[in-house]
Structure 1
Amino acid sequence: MLGSVLILAMLFSPGCSTGPEKNSPAGKNGKITIGFSLATLQEERWQRDMDILVAKAKAKGADVIVQNSNNNIDDQIKQVKYLLDQNIDILLIVPQDAEKSAEAVDLAKKKGIKVICYDRLIKNANTDFYVSFDNTKIGEYMASMMVSKVPMGNYIIVNGAKTDYNSYMYNQGYKNILDKYIYDKSIKIVDEIWANDWRPEDSFKCVEKALQGGKKIDAILAANDSLAGAAIEALSEQQLAGKVSVAGHDADISGCQRVAEGTQLMTVYKPIDQLAEKAVDVALGLLKNNYYASNTYISDGENDIPYAKVEPIVVTKDNLVDTVINDGFHRLEDVYLNVPRDQWPVK
């Protein structure tokens, strides 16, 4: 126990460690316990999500038990069982698999535990709430920025994992913008892949293969900054970094550094602070009032799920200071680490 927050980042076998002993709806210490099941901590942003959400919950008097399944759906389901055995009051889940995670929801429902999808939607599971960004808009922002820079040419699309429904929403956003350019043959999609478990090496191999095959590449849409970074690494081996426009999102420090350096056209800042606070507020509202107001809904395939939507923000070389730096997400000296000091902007 650290303060009033319990963080268990690995899978524990039954009987190893217990959460707060509870009487419904909160433990004997009078606090609500939130179970937070993460699919991964592979990307920088998920570590931030975990840290910020735990801090937000603590500030509102709640305990959090965290589990990380390292992109293994079987482990995630086992970890959800573990969380339920700790008598959590509510479950927040970042599903590793948009369809198979429905089993975890079913386990929670059988125990009368409400489930909130955090950032990623679970299909056909009728969860109690979905808290995320406007993921289709993220794809639209990326594609709009790209066509303004490269209105004609050969594009590669590196999608995220097929098991993550967000990947499809980003892709829909791309297509909402690109379709008319593809139709009039201004833009040609010369390759499109889906990165298994969001693995950067899939992005690297895709771009490397295209270049080795003699394909001319003008633009790359990559579904996050890790995939964008791997694409740029492949470009750099052919001295093409900065010459081919690449878009990513998440505003990871490495992505923001590449934007500052000019090797990545843009990223998208997702205010995790707002997302985490909204998730905690929804959780506490559902527990205390059995209700949290929402005017927005999203279909999970079978059901309309209440949707708390946080707006994403486009980040380019021109507004790095006004966005991620002034918001305290990154420090100026970290973002411009690889840029000569005399080229740093005035904060």
Structure 2
Amino acid sequence: MNVRPSRAVLVLTVLTMALGAAACAENDRSGSDEGGLTIGLLLPGDRESRYWQFDKPLIEKKIKELCGDCRLVHNNTISDAAIQRQQMESMINKGVEVLILGVVDPPALRSTVEDLKEAGIPVVAYDRLAEGPISGHVTFDGAQVGRLQAEALLKGMGHKADGGRIVMMNGAITDPNAGWFKRGAMSVLKDRVKIAMTYDTVEWREENAHANMSGAIAALGVDGVDGVYAANDRLASGAIAALKAAGVTPLPPVTGQDAELAAVQRIVTGDQYMTVYKPFEPEADAAATMAVALGRGESLEGIAKTRLDSATTKGIPTVLLTPLPVTVDNIKDTVVKDGMYTIDDICTPEFRSACDKAGLTR
């Protein structure tokens, strides 16, 4: 039987390791007052996720700009709190002096955040608000994300916007942002539509959304869904696949979030109505700037202009960014203009005809 060490033993161990690592790091930084930091980065998602494709390289680039001799130690976690706990604890062994954390399960990892704090390692919560004594936070306004999704959904529903039946595909119950999005969406939808079915998923997975959407269609009928609130593009993909498999035509408007390439292509073909684009570079830049400042013992006063409360901590210094809606009408002015994708990325041969029709290739 595996026996987990007591909290006291764990804290003593990590403190001892941290002191030794810090001493080594201090020796490595001799002659440089401004650099030599070891910065940890733990993000959720797999290699296909936005975190791996966009956030990580942008964070790494900004850290190098701010601190040429800083070292980045990173890992990705596929929605598994136990694995992320091990990764967080291993950051201490690796001599990390500050950690950027995209937490997968805030309540489950609260005690590990506390251990990092006791080891003298400040934590910057990235995109999702971690619990415990975090030192800074950067994210997009989740209420505004939900409002943008809801407003677009009503527009896409047209004359069915008043009294129509929608299915809500909300995000992972372990992600605090999911509730934030939902509250923002409901502030717009509550007096306009009938919430026929609502689902809170265990993880942000397409197969979960597919199963839930299939169940909703079975209960409501192929003509019983006037719109689908999907909290992100993965859930939108699963919902759309289920609608198509059930022979629902025309497809009802479906929302999304994260501006994944496949989602933008679905918007071009008309399968998905919209997505929410969260410009990743400002978020990555803010997290990197916070991490370097904290690693150097500097205040976040001039960086974070907002304060947010978690379930455990009040007044967390926060950089709160503004999301943008993306529909077929503004793809060029958002994700293409910012260099996230090129027209060639979007308009592959499979989508060339739809791109021509949408005016993207002119």
TM more than 0.5:
yes
**Residues 21 and 54 of structure 1, relative CA distance in 2, 3 Å threshold:** farther
Partner of 1:36: 41
- Determine the C-alpha separation between the residues in 1 that align with 2:50 and 2:206: 15
Q: CA, structure 1 residues 259+103, in 2 after alignment: closer, same or farther (shift >3 Å)? A: same
Alignment partner of 1:301 is 2:311? yes
Equivalent position SS for 1:74: helix
Gaps of 5+ in 1: 1-18, 182-186
Task: Quickly say closer, same or farther: Cα 1:299–1:43, change in 2 above 3 A.
Answer: farther
SS of alignment partner, residue 23 of structure 1: helix
Using the TM superposition, give the Cα deviation of residue 138 of structure 1 relative to its aligned residue in structure 2, in angstroms: 0.4
Q: Which residue of 1 aligns with 2:341?
A: 330
Taking the aligned partners of 1:102 and 1:296, their CA distance within structure 2 comes to 22
1:49 aligned to 2:55? yes
Larger proportion of helix: 2
Distance between the aligned counterparts of 2:165 and 2:29, measured in 1?
58
87-96 or 98-107, which deviates more: 98-107
Structure number with larger C-alpha Rg: 2
- Deviation track 1:170-221 (CA, whole Å, cap 9, x = no partner) reads 011111111222xxxxx11111111222111111011111222343001111
Contact 2:141 2:320 in 1 (8 A): yes
Following superposition, the deviation at residue 279 of structure 1 comes to: 0.5
Q: Tell me what 1:78 maps to.
A: 86
Question: CA RMSD, aligned part only?
Answer: 2.2
2:14 aligns with none
Cα distance in 2 for partners of 1:88, 1:145 equals 43
How has the CA–CA distance of structure 1 residues 59 and 25 changed in structure 2, closer, same or farther, with 3 Å as cutoff? farther
Deviation track 1:35-55 (CA, whole Å, cap 9, x = no partner) reads: 011232265211121122122
Report the 3-state secondary structure (helix = DSSP H, G, I; strand = E; otherwise coil) of the residue aligned with 2:112.
helix
Contact 2:277 2:325 in 1 (8 A): yes
**Residues of 1 paired with 2:190 and 2:27: CA distance?**
50
In 2, Cα distance between equivalents of 1:197 and 1:212: 22
Mapped partners of 2:219, 2:144: distance in 1: 33
Tell me the residue number matched to 1:318.
329
- Identity within the alignment, %: 28
Point out where structure 2 has 5 or more consecutive residues left out of the alignment: 1-20
Q: TM-score, normalised by structure 2?
A: 0.84
Counterpart residue type for residue 309 of structure 2: S
**AA paired with 2:156?**
K
Q: Which amino acid aligns with 1:312?
A: P
Give the structure 2 partner of residue 191 of structure 1: 197
In 1, Cα distance between equivalents of 2:142 and 2:249:
27
Matched with 1:3 is: none
Amino acid across the alignment from 1:161:
A
Q: Deviations over 1:59-79 (max 9, x none)?
A: 322221002232211111111
Calculate the TM-score normalised by the size of structure 1.
0.88
Q: Distance in 2 between matches of 1:100 and 1:319?
A: 40
Give the number of aligned pairs. Answer: 324
What is the DSSP-based 3-state SS (H/G/I as helix, E as strand, rest coil) of the residue aligned with 1:254?
A: helix
Match 2:190 to one of 152, 155, 179: 179
Q: Which residue number corresponds to residue 8 of structure 1?
A: none
Distance 1:305 1:273, change over 3 A: same
1:24 counterpart (9, 23, 26): 26
Cα distance in 2 between the residues matched to 1:20 and 1:84: 10
Q: Is the aligned partner of 1:200 residue 2:206?
A: yes
- Residue 163 of structure 1: aligned partner: 174
